[in-house]
Amino acid sequence: MTDFAIRYGEHVTRARRDGRPVVALESTIISHGLPHPDNLRVAREIEQTVRDNGAVPATIGMIGGELMVGLDDGQIEHLALADGVAKLSVRDLAVAAARRADGATTVAATSAVAAAAEIGVFATGGLGGVHREANVTFDESADLTTLAHTPVVVVCAGVKSILDVGATLERLETLGVAVAGYRTRRFPGFFVTDGGFDLDWELDSPAQVADVIRARADHGVGAGALILANPLPLDEQLDPAVHDRTLGEGLALLARGKITGKAVTPFLLAHFHETTQGQSLAVNVRIILRNAALAAQIAVASASPAA
């Protein structure tokens, strides 16, 4: 296989050589999704959770123009704490590489790089999607269009209620991206357990997800992603009243501040984290760690022969 200009961390090179299961992790949640300095601690906890569940973590990002699959601890610390780390979607990768930039990869860029590196499972918090009022702004995350042609399982807690959840599900259908709930038929809304929409498919174990990965390879049809939506248990979600109030304020501030484009998601996340006295942060961290654990279990299940 061609590895293009991808550089592998030593731990990932070893894992690939030994045929051990690997889980891809994104870096935008570290650099732009979580407040400093909690972000560094959380980035390390995510990696440890993957290891605790039997797989090898490969956090993806760009350092000095080099696309890294498996950042080492010092590089993760750099992307967590440095100023001026770019937010890189797929379209930015070549420009950032040529400019020797430091950058954090979004779900779109991380998925594309993971697939190029033949890593089939990726854990994140929430997916990007169709923004509210996208009919006017055209603001739809490139996560969706990239996943239409990127064969990877993305373990996430659905999309944030800061987006238009229904429109996002419609676009995923149009784009041919498969969506299944993990032990549920309701699509989660990230901070909240239930995002308000039904799903056609439910998968109940890592082995069942591994069966889907195998079936996709067998058929050779439809090289898009599988979104595995893993909701928080009801007693761990953000209090819906706190959620609705915070979201309302955040959307008003957004309009008043004329914040648009790629700044929207980080702005709203920061607003939640600043105004809920740590509640939304704790929930956000729980989501990511649960997804990391499940992704690792899926990677392990799909590395072993079918039952």
Known binding site for substrate: residues?
87, 107, 141-143
DSSP 30: I
The answer to whether 285 and 116 are in contact (CB under 8 A) is no
- Please identify, using beta-carbon distances, which residue of 16 and 160 lies nearer to ligand PSU: 160
- Please identify, using beta-carbon distances, which residue of 113 and 300 lies nearer to ligand PSU: 113
Q: Is 107 in the site for ligand PSU (CB under 6 A)?
A: yes
The answer to whether 166 and 238 are in contact (CB under 8 A) is no
Stretch that binds ligand PSU, among 72-80, 92-100, 105-113, 177-185 (CB under 6 A): 105-113
Q: Is 92 in the site for Mn ion (CB under 5 A)?
A: no
**Binder of Mn ion out of 26, 92, 102, 139 (CB under 5 A):** 139
140 is catalytic: no
Angle of the 38-52 helix axis to the 279-303 helix axis, nearest 10: 30
Angle of the 206-219 helix axis to the 279-303 helix axis, nearest 10: 60
Direct distance between the N- and C-terminal alpha carbons of the chain, in angstroms, rounded to an integer: 28
Q: Where are the alpha helices (DSSP H) in 82-175?
A: 93-98, 107-116, 134-137, 142-147, 165-175
- For the bound state, the minimum distance from the C-beta of residue 13 to ligand PSU, rounded and expressed in Å, comes to 25
- For the bound state, the minimum distance from the C-beta of residue 17 to Mn ion, rounded and expressed in Å, comes to 38
Of 29-68, binders to ligand PSU (CB under 6 A) are 29, 33
Stretch that binds ligand PSU, among 95-103, 135-143, 193-201, 247-255 (CB under 6 A): 135-143
Asked whether the bond before 37 is cis by omega within 30 degrees of 0, the reply is yes
Where is 179: in which H helix or E strand?
A: strand 178-182
Of 235-264, binders to ligand PSU (CB under 6 A) are 262
CA distances 234 to 189, 191, 243, 263, 290, Å, are 12, 10, 14, 30, 14
**x/- binding map, residues 165-194, to ligand PSU, per CB under 6 A?**
-------------------------x----
Enter the tokens of residue 162: 């800061």
- For the bound state, the minimum distance from the C-beta of residue 261 to Mn ion, rounded and expressed in Å, comes to 6
**Catalytic annotation, pick one of 26, 47, 140, 262:** 26
State how far the Cα of 242 lies from the Cα of 250, in Å rounded to an integer: 12
Closest CA to 298 of 199, 228, 202: 228
Enter the tokens of residue 236: 């761990």
DSSP 37: T
Q: Is 158 in the site for ligand PSU (CB under 6 A)?
A: no
Stretch that binds ligand PSU, among 64-72, 112-120, 121-129, 293-301 (CB under 6 A): 121-129
Count of residues that interact with ligand PSU, criterion CB under 6 A: 18
Q: Is 128 in the site for ligand PSU (CB under 6 A)?
A: yes
**Catalytic annotation, pick one of 47, 140, 160, 262:** 160
160 is catalytic: yes
Q: Is 106 in the site for ligand PSU (CB under 6 A)?
A: yes
Q: What does the binding site for ligand PSU look like in residue numbers (CB under 6 A)?
A: 26, 28-29, 33, 106-108, 125-126, 128, 141-143, 160, 190, 262, 265, 269
Q: What is the contact surface with Mn ion in residues (CB under 5 A)?
A: 139
Would you please indicate which residues are annotated as catalytic (active-site) residues?
Answer: 26, 160
